[in-house]
Structure 1
Amino acid sequence: MQTYLVERMEGDDVVTVRIVNAPSPFKAAALSTDRNVTVRTWEKDWIRVTDENRGHIFAYCFASDEDSDSSRHGPPKAPEKPRKTQKADQRAG
């Protein structure tokens, strides 16, 4: 197993730091927080995982679980834009 530096972040501020042995950076993020994670979508509360041996940094955020208590995850997220709107926004920007 690989060793990862896992930091829980609030914006640019480090809130907690842990060293975790895990088979992947994704598993390291989930194991260190005891919550489901997903690839980061610009959330204020997120997890930075560093593989210091390879020099790689990964970013994850907490996944919302429809079956779990919603109070653990903060307010509900706004609905995502349809794919056509996302592509139009990318072309415009």
Structure 2
Amino acid sequence: MTSKISQELIEECDLIRDRRIEIEGVDQAIVALLQQRVRLAREVGRLKSGTGLPLFDPAREAAVVRRAAAQARDDGISEDGIRQIFWQVIGLCRRAQVGES
């Protein structure tokens, strides 16, 4: 009996380890996508600077957050959590557009 329980525990630990490895891969993908978003935001900022358009567009930013929250709702993820994350991402991109790290 003990050996069966030990084997089951080992298998559970292996599954946990495997899922954590998958999570690390997702985390790396998230960072890569954020790098891409920051790069694109900087490019948009450069393009806007030559046109006289305002650098920031609060209405567009709010629409981006609403769209992400709606997708979260459809996917069964916390809308509030996604809103918070997206406002942080927008802040990161805003800072990148004005040359902050």
How does the TM-score come out when normalised to structure 2?
0.21
More helix per residue:
2
TM-score (norm 1): 0.22
Larger Rg: 2
Higher relative contact order (CA 8 A, sep 6+): 2
The structure that is strand-richer by fraction is 1
